[in-house]
Structure 1
Amino acid sequence: MTIASFVAMTIFLAVLAFVCIYRAYIGPTAADRVVSINVITTKVTVLIALIAVITDQYMFIDVALIYAMMGFIATLAVSKYIEKGKLY
């Protein structure tokens, strides 16, 4: 794959992330907002991985993995808060 295709994928994912931001803003329920923020986290993780491939600096893969784990933990915490009203 060429650099132009990686850049095109990056731009496409960034546009889709902004669509998810709009969905998080207008989401009628808290669950809709949590799902859209989770999708944004996934898209940002893929963007970081694409940047790692484009720049040949593969330490960004570690950053992407840590970001994905933090997003997963945050999603669990917010879901538990929505369900029970407290985190503990």
Structure 2
Amino acid sequence: MKYLMLEIMQYLLVVCAALCILKLLLGPTTAHRLVALNILSAVALAFLVIRAVEKGRVLYLDVALVYDIFGFLGFLAITRFLKNKEREEEPKGGPQ
């Protein structure tokens, strides 16, 4: 029963990842794409945790933790880049 639930969760994560990729490609704004990318990172993290439980190996949890830290730092870097890009595109007189 335990492995059946893990398998169902993996299928649900694949569906969620497919929807996130669709939103990533078709998102109307950059913010929508950024949120889809962040959710896709969380789905990958959940998949690694499920694999760790399924295989009974702690190594997958360590990889998931490092992956999550780098994903969060990447998210912050992209957000800061987009914020600076918006400032450069504003006219010199400021917002009107």
Pick the TM interval, shorter chain: over 0.9
Paired residue for 1:49?
49
Q: Which residue of 2 aligns with 1:77?
A: 77
Identity of aligned residues (%): 29
Bigger relative CO (Cα 8 Å, ≥ 6 apart):
1
Q: Distance in 2 between matches of 1:22 and 1:55?
A: 30
The one-letter code matched in structure 1 to 2:66 is: I
Deviations 1:58-78 (A, max 9, x none): 110000011111110010000
Per the TM alignment, residue 11 of structure 1 is displaced from its structure 2 partner at its CA by 1.0
Question: Could you report, residue by residue, the CA deviation over 1:7-53 in whole angstroms, capped at 9, with x for unpaired residues?
Answer: 11011011101100000100111111110000000010010000000
Q: Which has the larger radius of gyration?
A: 2
Structure 2: runs of 5 or more not aligned: 86-96
Q: How many Å separate the matches in 2 of 1:70 and 1:29?
A: 24
Q: How many residues align?
A: 85
TM-score (norm 2): 0.85
**TM-score, with length taken from structure 1:** 0.92
Q: Which runs of 5+ in 1 are unaligned?
A: none
What residue is the counterpart of 1:3 in the other structure? 3
